[in-house]
């Protein structure tokens, strides 16, 4: 089932692969070593992958992010959380999960006490029922068609029966 262990395993293996420079991460949505596919887990894994990519971006080192003037002003042992600079900048460096719930326990309970699997299942069902696929842009479709035509020519294979 898409439980804490499954989430941890996906996050750990995907993070290590991403840190190593992989540009494709295998196994999102999969359970039981790929024997089972779970839509809720795919929704969860999509969020985990987004957070991994967010972390890999790092933090740009610039005058605003370093905030040396604020550090000098507040000084050693000071408190930065209530500083206006922190307020104006913290959201730019946070991930923004949709399935992970960061509410306080009382708010979470008032909203129905749904765990991550329940929220992911609801999101998967919503996507299944309501998602509208954007048509492929004509220039991208042409590029894909040209690649198929080139492959057919190079390998003398009838790939055109597969409509891309």
Per-residue pLDDT tens over the stretch 62-101: 998 899 999 999 999 999 999 999 999 888 888 888 999 9
Stated as kind and residue range, the H or E segment containing 39 is helix 39-57
Q: Please state the pTM of the whole predicted model.
A: 0.74
Q: How sure is the predictor about 121, in pLDDT bands with cuts at 50, 70 and 90?
A: very high
Q: Work out the angle at residue 29's Cα, subtended by the Cα atoms of residues 28 and 30, and round it to the nearest 5 degrees.
A: 95
Among 7-11, 39-43, 70-74, 148-152, the minimum mean pLDDT is found in 148-152
Is the pLDDT at 40 greater than 90? The verdict is yes
Residue 45's nearest CA partner among 70, 21, 10, 17 is: 10
Q: Which of 12-21, 90-99, 119-128 has the lowest mean pLDDT?
A: 90-99
């Amino acid at each position: 089932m898409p439980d804490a262990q499954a989430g941890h395993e996906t996050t750990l293996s995907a993070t290590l692969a991403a840190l190593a420079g992989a540009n494709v991460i295998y196994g999102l949505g999969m359970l039981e070593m790929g024997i089972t596919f779970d839509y809720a887990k795919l929704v969860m894994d999509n969020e985990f992958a987004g957070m991994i990519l967010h972390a890999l971006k790092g933090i740009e080192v610039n005058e605003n992010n370093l905030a040396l003037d604020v550090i000098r002003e507040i000084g050693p042992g000071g408190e930065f959380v209530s500083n206006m600079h922190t307020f104006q900048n913290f959201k730019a460096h946070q991930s923004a999960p949709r399935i992970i719930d960061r509410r306080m326990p009382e708010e979470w309970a008032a909203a129905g006490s749904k765990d991550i699997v329940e929220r992911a299942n609801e999101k998967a069902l919503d996507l299944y029922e309501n998602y509208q696929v954007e048509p492929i842009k004509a220039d991208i479709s042409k590029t894909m068609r040209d690649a198929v035509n080139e492959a057919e020519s190079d390998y003398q294979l009838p790939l055109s029966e597969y409509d891309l």
